[in-house]
Chain A
Amino acid sequence: MQKTESVKPKAESVKLKAESVKQKAIRADINTRVNSFLLLAFSVTLLAFSVKTAAQDSTALYIQQVLHPQEAEMRTQALARLAALQPPAAFPFLAAVSSSSLYLLDGRAVTTGSRSAGQDDRFPIYEVYPGQRQLKDEKGRPLLLPLSALQPVTASRPQRLQLAPLAAVLDMFSADAQKRAMAYSQQGAKGAAHADALRLALQTETDPLALRAGREAMYAVRLQRATDAAAARLLIDSLYQHNGDNATGILRNWAKKPGVPQEAAAYALQQAQRLDSHYAWMQRIQNLFSGVSLGSILILVSLGLAIVYGLAGIINMAHGEFLMIGAYTTYCMELLFTNVLQVQDANWFFIAALPASFVTAGLAGLLLERLVIRHLYARPLESLLATWGISLILIQAARTLFGDLTAVKLPGMLAGGWQVTPHLVLPWNRLFIILLTIVVVIALYGLLFRSRLGMQIRAVTQNRNMAACLGINTKRVDAVTFFIGSGLAGLAGCAMTLIGNVVPDMGQTYIVDSFLVVVTGGVGKLMGTIAAGLGIGIFSKVLEAFFQAVYGKVLILLGIMIFMQFRPRGLFPDKGRIAEN
């Protein structure tokens, strides 16, 4: 905050400077006007008026001409004038023109901001002249409107090209915060071509990310102009502490510049080095996090696979399709909530979809168990072929019903991420998946090791005949286990909609990996599945950081094959005589 205040006094002088520039521009303007015969007749009276009053009014006039030109030529002229005048108050307006996002709303010139997540077709609206101002509705909330409610004002390409030399400045006044942030960064990198405009833009900046980029650019600009080593050192420290996205680049480039004091240059390089190693660590944490999140999905998918295989000796190739069913259930819930129940809030459908996807996939699994898999118990290789056939049927059915590609919108509450440090953002959706996995694993452990049903499941897993002799209804246990296993895959599918598209063969992408997890973990071992899932997830992401994704996958596979040389029964094999059967 302190830093922005120090910027302010200078901004005043910028304004004064801008005024004088404008005066000159108007004089030039008068001269050029004579050339335009057609315009002359119309604007003579206005001209007299505008020369007399403040420059503001001439800007307003040109803006009116851009908005409501009598003829196309007039708009061209007006834009040319504005480009020459460069009135700061019109920058947002011109930014809207150059990005073709200028609209009229009740006679006011407006533009659209970037839409927030979960708001499909409605945009926040900004008035663009004078200055930029977000419009509110009657309750004081940001006004959101669909594009259809706005009347577009379209400048032709040649007209917009007149503004091209100003693009770097105008971007700093865009309604799109991301664009502004990029424009600031460019200023910082290029070294203050438009330092005054940068200051001006930062005065009204509210978006935190853009503000970060802007301040960094400001420091960079001041560093460029620093005259003595002490001041430079201070600014280098500021840059280091600010820890912006381009800090290392700025520092390194500055140190290379001729005429920089040697000691300060060395200091800059040293600080850049420190930042680099800091980033490297952040990157490692980010990779680890991606790995854990991939591992979580693998665990969710594999858990069901592992218990079903352990219990019934079934290689369920259609397991991935339960994931697909879960994802499509989520998609259907979204349709149901938005189209039938008219719930606009994008959070509710997802909350409802979690249990719904579990139950739907579970029921599908139950049906499959009854119809087909019941006949294949303890014939893993045959079951592999039959369930592969089922997976083909399910995929084709999904394709026929839903088409090739759909997507579920991200619930608003899971948009964005947790910014741990400036360079480490953990997306909420991935955090949610990890959390979901933890909850599921704990629940599953509770079920298997703390409940009567769990004891029965474990009993049937270890010795089906003996369990049946002891009066356990093995068929019921099979059915329940299959329900739970398939349901878990459905839940995984629901979670998958947070990070990817919904496609008919989405299950196939995960099925081979999931089987590898089951095999590596040791068949039927929950602990092994969890460890292997995390391990494979993390290794994949870490390897992907070094190699390309494909080679990462090949390496993972080679790793697993080497691993199997030493532990052919997986991480947590059964010991002793049970293992022999």
Chain B
Amino acid sequence: MLKAKSSSKLATLLFVLFFAVALPAGHWLGIVSVNTISLWGRYFCFAIAALGIDLVWGYTGIMSMCQAFFFCLGGYCMGMHLLLKATALQGQELPAFMVWNNITELPFFWQPFNGFVPALLLSLLVPAVVAFVIGYFVFKSRIKGVYMAIITQALALAMYLLFLRNETKLGGTNGLTNFKTLLGLDLYAPGVKVGLYFVAFGMLCLAYVACRKIVGSKFGKILQAIRDSEPRVGYTAYRVLHYKLAVFVAAAVLAGVAGMLYVPQTGIITPGRMDVKASVEMLMWVALGGRGRLKGAIIGALLVNCLYSFCTSLFPEGWLFILGLLYVLTVLYFDKGFLGLLELLFKAKRLKIAESIKQKAKSHQGGYKYSRQ
């Protein structure tokens, strides 16, 4: 056990060293292009969102299929700010898409995004409030499991359709783009890009540590208890609704942070980022990396996105086949994801024992019947 722990610590250290030192150093030495750096910066954003999904799905067992929507809420908040700044820089009063849509003055909900700090706060607050409202109604009526998945999926679809419309005054299908500066810094300057990379990586580390704390606390234990045996948690006098709401909102905020960091790096946010597919794919990152483990979520998000960039540049037609196959194989054979697979390779023997215990746990987990005629 001790050995496993120290090797895992070593791996974490190597991971941090590689991304915090080696990759930027490679860039300054001219080996790694600034685009690659920026690409990784975006992957870190996905990894932050994946951490939230792992909290909600991996630890609490709530399959939320609208995380991409929260991601986009954060993204749109930041995008609105960036667009307003870019518009002001060009000496215009309204963003170009509004002019095309015959909007004569800035809609009221755009007003707060003029300032950077309000925009920053709103990109956390908006996903939080939306998640709170959705979560309150869903959890209060004790919608869970499959019902939860389907309802949130339908919600994501409805919101996606809503954002596609021009009437929502958020750019419609084209989304928000043509950003110029952030806090007066040129978004296209290599230095700023590397800076954003560091911000994203720092945020990822911070999010990981925070999630680690949450998961390790009694709160985290209760989340797992809810996943395994929700009724018992209620009979033990914990208000399940509050706990579920708390973790759902936390995950939404993480997704919002991720979206907020993502937008300045890509320079565009469209409704396409929040369609049904996007949310399922986010779940897949977590499943692929190893559900119920924070590192798994990060590794999954990075791995799938690397693979995506790799495959789409080599054989774009085949990517969906590969992704589909990954879904099936992961669910069928690598229930514990990539991390589980690693352990299987390195510690086959040790795992066997643990497996048998887990199996036992599972077989008991299945049949909760509190009463029998």
A residues bordering B, Cβ < 8 Å? 309, 315, 372, 375-376, 378, 380-386, 388-393, 395-397, 400, 508, 512-513, 515-516, 518-519, 523, 548, 550-551, 553-554, 557, 560-561, 564-566, 568, 577, 580-581
What's the least CB distance linking B40 to chain A, in Å?
A: 26
* Cβ-defined partner of B331 (8 Å) among A382, A393, A396, A518: A382
How far apart are the CA atoms of A159 and B372 in the complex, in Å? 90
Question: Least Cβ distance of A522 to chain B in Å?
Answer: 11
Q: Is there contact, CB below 8 Å, between B327 and A389?
A: yes
- With a cutoff of 8 Å between Cβ atoms, the chain B residues found around residue A397 in the complex are 321
> Is A515 touching B141 in the complex (CB atoms < 8 A)?
no
**Is A561's CB under 8 angstroms from B161's CB?**
no
Nearest A residue to B335, CB-CB: A382
**CB contact between B323 and one of A389, A519, A581 (< 8 Å): that residue:** A389
Q: Give bound CA distance, A531 to B317, whole Å.
A: 41
Residue-wise interface mask of B (340-373) relative to A, using a CB-CB cutoff of 8 A (1 in contact, 0 not): 0000000000000000000000000010111111
Give 15 pairs: A residue, B residue, CB < 8 Å, sorted on A. Answer: A309-B146, A315-B150, A383-B331, A384-B146, A385-B287, A385-B327, A389-B325, A389-B328, A391-B324, A396-B320, A508-B276, A512-B154, A553-B161, A565-B140, A580-B371
**Residues of chain A lying within 8 A (CB to CB) of residue B155:** 557, 561
Q: Is B314 an interface residue when CB atoms closer than 8 A count as contact? A: no
Given contacts A512-B157, A561-B137, 4 further A-B contacts (CB under 8 A): A512-B276, A551-B162, A565-B140, A577-B371
Which of B140, B162, B332, B372 has a CB less than 8 Å from the CB of A372? B332
* CB of B215 within 8 Å of the partner chain: no
Cβ contact within 8 Å between B328 and A390: yes
User: Is B320 a contact of A392 with CB atoms below 8 Å?
Assistant: yes
Best-surrounded residue of B143, B287, B320, B325 (most CB of chain A within 10 A) = B320
What's the Cα separation between A376 and B328 when bound, in Å?
A: 11
Specify which of B154, B283, B371 is in contact with A515 (CB 8 Å cutoff): B154
One of A390, A396, A560 near B154 (C-beta < 8 A): A560
CB pair B146–A516 under 8 Å, yes or no, is: no
Q: How far apart are the CA atoms of A376 and B332 in the complex, in Å? A: 8
Q: Is B278 an interface residue (CB 8 A)?
A: no
B323 & A392 in contact (Cβ 8 Å cutoff): yes
CB distance from B291 to the nearest CB of A (A): 10
Known contacts: A554-B158, A554-B162. The answer to whether A392 contacts B327 by CB under 8 A is yes
Known: A512-B276, A561-B151. A580 touches B369 (CB 8 A): yes
Known: A554-B161, A557-B158. A581 touches B369 (CB 8 A): yes
Across-interface contacts of B368 in A (CB, < 8 A): 581
* Chain B hits for A551, CB < 8 A: 162
CA distance A384 to B152 in the complex (A): 14
B370–A580 touching, CB < 8 Å? yes
Q: Which residues of A contact B332 (CB under 8 A)?
A: 372, 375-376, 386
Q: A388-B327, A393-B320 are in contact. Are A568 and B162 (CB under 8 A)?
A: no
* Complex partner residue of A381 from B63, B165, B324, B366, CB under 8 angstroms: B63
A372 CB contacts on chain B under 8 angstroms: 328, 332
Contact B154 A395 (CB under 8 A): no
Contacts of A554 in B (CB 8 A): 158, 161-162
Contacts of A384 in B (CB 8 A): 63, 146, 149
Residue of A nearest to B157 (CB): A512
Smallest CB gap from B320: residue in A: A396
Q: Which residue of B lies closest to A309 (CB)?
A: B146
| CB-based contact A381/B145 at 8 Å | yes
* Any A CB within 8 A of the CB of B153: yes
Residues of chain A within 8 A (CB-CB) of B325 are 389, 393
Q: A390 vs B280: C-alpha distance in the bound complex, in angstroms? A: 13
What per-residue 1/0 map shows which CB atoms of B139-181 lie under 8 Å from chain A?
A: 0111101110111011101100110110000000000000000
A566 CB contacts on chain B under 8 angstroms: 141
Separation in Å of the A405 CB from the closest CB of chain B? 17
Name the A residues within 8 Å of B321 (CB-CB): 392-393, 396-397
- Whether B207 sits at the interface, judged by CB under 8 Å, is no
Which residues of the other chain, A, contact B284 by a CB distance below 8 angstroms? 385, 389
B326 within 8 A of A: yes
- Across the interface, name the chain B residue whose C-beta is closest to A378: B366
Q: In whole angstroms, what is the CA distance A381 to B153 when docked?
A: 13
- In angstroms, Cα B63 to Cα A568, docked, is 17
> Who on chain A is nearest to B276 by CB?
A512
Contact check, B143 vs A564: say whether CB atoms are below 8 A apart: yes
- CB pair B164 A315 closer than 8 Å: no
Contact B283 A385 (CB under 8 A): yes
- In whole angstroms, what is the CA distance A400 to B158 when docked? 29
Cα distance A580–B231 in the bound complex, in angstroms:
11
User: Which chain B residues numbered 113 to 157 have a C-beta less than 8 Å away from chain A?
Assistant: 137-138, 140-143, 145-147, 149-151, 153-155, 157
User: From B370, which residue of chain A is reached at the shortest CB distance?
Assistant: A580
What's the minimum C-beta distance from B223 to chain A, rounded to whole angstroms?
16
Report, nearest first, the 5 A-B pairs whose CB atoms are least far apart: A389-B327, A392-B324, A393-B324, A386-B331, A396-B320
Nearest CB on A from B370, distance (A):
7
Give the residue name and chain of the A residue nearest to B287 (CB): A385
Distance between Cα atoms of A393 and B321 in the complex (Å): 5
With a cutoff of 8 Å between Cβ atoms, the chain B residues found around residue A548 in the complex are 165
B165 in complex: contacting residue of A376, A396, A512, A550, CB < 8 Å: A550
Hey, which chain A residues are within 8 Å of B330, CB to CB?
385
Question: Residue B145 contacts which of A380, A391, A395, A513 (CB distance < 8 angstroms)?
Answer: A380
**Chain A residues, Cβ within 8 Å of B324:** 389-393, 396
CB contacts (< 8 Å) of A375 on chain B: these are 332
Given contacts A395-B320, A577-B371, contact A315 B149 (CB under 8 A): yes
Chain A nearest CB from B331 CB (Å) reads 4
Say whether A565 contacts B161, CB under 8 Å.
no
Least CB distance from A237 to B in Å reads 45
Q: Taking each of B147, B328, B330, which has the highest tally of chain A beta carbons within 10 Å of its own beta carbon?
A: B328
Give the distance to chain B from A542, nearest Cβ to Cβ, in Å. 17
Q: Within the complex, what minimum Cβ distance (angstroms) separates B296 from chain A?
A: 15
B371 contact set on A, CB distance < 8 A: 577, 580
A568-B280 in contact given A392-B320, A557-B154 (Cβ < 8 Å): no
What residues of chain B lie closer than 8 Å to A516, measured between beta carbons? 150, 154
Q: Give the docked Cα–Cα distance between A397 and B143 (Å).
A: 35
Interface string of B272-315 (1 = CB under 8 A from A): 00001000100110010000000000000000000000000000
- Return chain B residues, CB-CB under 8 Å to A395: 320
Residues of A within 8 A of B369 (CB): 580-581
A515 x B145 contact (CB < 8 A): no
Distance of A517 from chain B, by nearest CB (Å): 10
Q: Residue on A with the closest CB to B326? A: A389
Note all chain A residues with C-beta closer than 8 A to B287.
385
Min C-beta distance of B351 to chain A, whole Å: 20
User: How far, in whole Å, are A519 and B155 apart by their CA atoms in the complex?
Assistant: 14
Say yes or no: A550-B161 contact (C-beta < 8 A), given A381-B145, A385-B287.
Answer: yes
In the complex the two chains form, is A550's CB within 8 Å of B147's CB? no
Given contacts A512-B157, A561-B137, A568-B142, contact A381 B326 (CB under 8 A): no
Cβ–Cβ contact B145 & A512, under 8 A: no
For B143, the chain A residues whose CB sits under 8 A away are 564, 568
How near does chain A come to B286, taking the closest CB pair, in angstroms?
A: 10
CA distance A284 to B325 in the complex (A): 47
Of A384, A385, A389, A396, most B-chain CB atoms within 10 Å: A389
B228 to chain A, nearest CB (A): 14
| Contact B151–A564 (Cβ < 8 Å) | yes
Chain B residues in 8 Å Cβ range of A390 = 324, 327-328
User: CB-CB contacts of B13-41 with A at 8 A, as 1s and 0s?
Assistant: 00000000000000000000000000000
Closest-by-CB residue of B relative to A391 is: B324
The distance in angstroms between the C-alpha atoms of A565 and B143, with both chains bound, is 9
Complex Cα distance A553/B321, Å? 31
A519 cross-chain contacts in B, Cβ below 8 A: 146-147, 150-151
Contact B137 A565 (CB under 8 A): yes
**Chain B residues, CB < 8 A from A383:** 331
CB–CB A386/B328 < 8 A: yes
Contact partners of B323 in chain A: CB under 8 A: 389, 392
Question: For the complex, what is the distance from the CA of A533 to the CA of B283, rounded to whole Å?
Answer: 29
Interface centre among B140, B143, B331, B368 (most CB of A within 10 A): B331
